[in-house]
Amino acid sequence: MITADEAIKRLKEGNERFVSGVRSIETIVKQIQRATFVEGQTPFAIILGCSDSRVPAEIVFDQGLGDLFVIRVAGNIVAPSQVGSVEFATEMFGTQLVVVLGHSMCGAVKATIDELDKPSDKNSSNVLSIVNRIRPAVETLFETEIRNDPEKLLAACIHANILASTNQLMHGSQKLENLVQQGKLKIVGAEYSLATGRVEFFE
């Protein structure tokens, strides 16, 4: 299994290809040879990303079948099922990198800001369960002067939410925390720009 640093390098290179509008031959070949993955997989990175249809991790990073273990949920939040999925991948495949991938103009974060601004009784309890996981990361920003600039507020809240999810993964699981302390796992945040296609890593 490749190291976390090498995995980040591969993701950055793949994102550069995506931004440039090219795909690697290896990615295409893996799709053609899908039968070779029937017996197993060896993903080099775990991606906890948002469900937004504009941010598919495999495409954004130009990776093929078997390369990424992807977990997608609105707002790239961390709940027990997401933690369990990350634990599963680290244990089963020995993957050494986890990336929490948020993105610009995130609807789940915007919904949380809207709820803080004007609480509504129209959201279902299921939607509120997502909002309430994002809320702690953005509440403090909502109480500052930045709240008067909606664009800057949203951008700052998206960044804060990514960092909060990264922190929750690092400290919300004894198994993951032990791996991090042993140098066997790296957990980083990153943000995808819908406008440019680029991914910025928070290292």
| Residue 117's CATH number | 3.40.1050.10
Q: CA-CA distance, 92 to 90, in Å (whole number)?
A: 6
> How many CB atoms are located within 10 Å of the residue 92 CB?
13
**Which residue segment(s) compose the domain that 54 sits in?**
4-202
How large is the average pLDDT for residues 39-65?
A: 94
pLDDT for position 123: 79
pLDDT digits (tens, 9 = 90+) for 123-164: 788 989 999 999 999 999 988 999 899 999 999 999 999 999
In order, the DSSP letters of 66-82 are TTEEEEE-GGG---HHH
Structural domain count, the chain: 1
Enter the tokens of residue 56. 């598919």
pTM of the model: 0.94
Q: What is the residue-averaged pLDDT of the chain?
A: 94
Helix (H) or strand (E) run with residue 150 in it: helix 150-171
pLDDT per position as a tens digit, 94-122: 999 999 999 999 999 999 999 998 888 88
> Does residue 30 register a pLDDT over 80?
no
